[in-house]
Amino acid sequence: MKYQMGDCHFEAGSKYLTLELPESNDIFDDTDALRERMQQDGYLLIRGLHDAEEVLKARRDILLLMAGEAALDPYAPLMEGAANPDPKEIASSSVRGREHLKTDSLKRVVYGKRVMKFFDRFLSGEPLSYNFQWLRTTGPGAGSSIHYDVVYMGRGTQNLYTCWTPIGTVTPEMGPLVLCLGSNQWRDVIDTYGKTDVDRDLTCGYFSKDPAELVDKFGGRWATTTFEPGDVVILSMFLMHASLTNNSNKYRLSCDTRYQLASEPIDDRWAGEQPRMHDAFWQPGTAIVPVELSREKWGV
């Protein structure tokens, strides 16, 4: 079977894509080993970090709101998250315009005791989480672009981690998170693209529209798997990632949250109870530099 990523279609098990993503539950109780694996691989897949029932409660609450907006198929069971076959909006993976869907039940998951206890141990100190939830309700046909997170939130500490939480079961057909294995070691990319700031430099944020190019030019391999309620993927700021295209008839629900030591500097765009968010990048009319021009300048 082929899976889509941008304009590319990859066979699972090819040099471009694997559906086998190694887990870190085997070393969950060994903090030093977790840190070493993060340093080496740039990510940790941890099954069952969140309480599965709490995740499903959050899913139900979000889907109830979406059903009230006629986003869902009225003839399908609610928890399937099936998209209305006659949608009112173009499918998107954008996090903008999702504030009304950020339910209390969702926040209880992503700021709950289990995840905060994990980061307290992993960071060796009191953790702080950005008070913004990157909630995505990704409909059929949509997907996310290829990027490092640091270009969006690199003004504070870079000892900062993304936690990707699938809100329900997410299969490869539904367009899950996909990681470019080994991309956290691409020194030339880290030292150029990885030092940009989308608001300061008005770069477009993503690094490439061609996932095959990254494998052919830099090495690595795209990897994902099937995720279940409670699972998380924790990413460093310097791991290239994106999503597969959602080729199912269902919404893929997921949420990104960020965690760092409370004692370290925070990116001022994401600080406080009401973060101001991006200065220029999200503003209408901002002229963004095409990625082709940026990469020519960087020599990558």
* Residue extents of the structural domains in the chain: 2-298
Q: How confident is the model at residue 166 (pLDDT cuts 50, 70, 90)?
A: very high
Element (H, E) at 138: strand 134-138
Element (H, E) at 256: strand 252-261
Interacting residues of 184 by C-beta distance below 8 A, sequence separation 6+: 41, 42, 190, 236, 238, 239, 240
What type of residue is 159? N
Q: Which residue has the higher pLDDT, 191 or 283?
A: 191
Q: Tell me, what's the pLDDT at 238?
A: 98
CATH number of 2-298: 2.60.120.620
Q: What angle do CA 82, 244, 80 make, to 5 degrees?
A: 15
184: nearest Cα among 299, 38, 294, 292: 38
What type of residue is 184? N
Other CB atoms within a 10 A radius of the CB of residue 262 amount to 12
pLDDT digits (tens, 9 = 90+) for 62-96: 999 999 999 999 999 999 999 999 987 777 778 87
pTM for this model (two decimals): 0.96
Calculate the average pLDDT of the chain: 96
Which pairing describes strands 161-166 and 252-261: parallel, antiparallel, or unpaired?
antiparallel
pLDDT digits (tens, 9 = 90+) for 247-285: 999 999 999 999 999 999 999 999 999 999 998 998 888
Averaged pLDDT for residues 235-253:
98
Contact 203, 151 (CB under 8 A): yes
Other CB atoms within a 10 A radius of the CB of residue 120 amount to 15
Q: Strand pairing partners for 295?
A: none
User: What token pair was written down for 286?
Assistant: 């901002």
Q: Tell me, what's the pLDDT at 87?
A: 81
Contact 133, 257 (CB under 8 A): yes
Q: What is the CA radius of gyration of the chain?
A: 18
User: What token pair was written down for 106?
Assistant: 């969702």
